[in-house]
């Protein structure tokens, strides 16, 4: 797929989070921590990561997933791999 902009990744991630755990898209902003701010548990993070891999065409290894603590972390990771 074409390289996504930061906004496109944010929008795509927010849609995935809404679909999987039912958090309103407006809540998903770059500075938010998945566990502390959005109350997303570790198994749901696995589901979200799998959906994000499919949507953005990148591989997120388990080792990397542990380091993706905020929405901005995911945006940076996807941009780095797409770039």
Partner 1 sequence: MSKSKTTVVVTGLGATTPLGGDVPSTWSALLAGESGVRPLEWEGVEELPVRFAATLKVDPSEVMPKQVLRRLDRNQSIALIAAREAWTHAGFAPPTVRKPKKGEEPAGVEGGFLVDGDRLGVVVSSGIGGLHTALNSYDVYREKGWSRVSPFTVPMLMPNGASGHVGIEFGAMAGSHALVSACASSGEAVGYAIDMIRTGRADVVICGGTESCIHPLQMASFGAMRAMSTRNDEPTRASRPYDKNRDGFVLGEGAAVLILESEEHARARGAKVHGIASGCGYSGDAFDIVLPDPTGAGQAKAMRRALVDAGLQPSDIVHINAHATSTPAGDVAELASIKAGLGEEAAAGAAITATKSMTGHLLGGAGALESLFTILALRDGVIPAVANLEDLDDEADLDIVRGEPRKLADGPAAALNNSFGFGGHNVSVAFERAL
Binding site for partner 1 (CB under 8 A): 19-22, 36, 39, 43-44, 46-47, 50
CB of residue 65 to partner 1, shortest distance in Å: 12
Angle at 52 between CA 76 and CA 36, to 5 degrees: 70
Alpha carbons 4 and 25: distance in angstroms, whole number: 18
Nearer to partner 1, 6 or 39 (CB): 39
Q: Are 77 and 60 in contact (CB under 8 A)?
A: yes
CB of residue 20 to partner 1, shortest distance in Å: 6
Active-site annotation, residues: 41
């Amino acid at each position: 797929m074409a390289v996504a902009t930061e906004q496109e990744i944010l929008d795509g991630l927010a849609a995935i989070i809404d679909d999987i755990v039912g958090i309103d898209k407006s809540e998903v902003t770059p500075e938010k921590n998945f566990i502390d701010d959005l109350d997303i548990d570790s198994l749901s993070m696995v589901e979200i990561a799998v959906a994000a891999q499919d949507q953005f065409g990148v591989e997120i290894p388990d080792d990397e997933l542990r380091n993706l603590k905020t929405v901005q972390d995911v945006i940076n990771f996807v941009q780095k791999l797409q770039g």
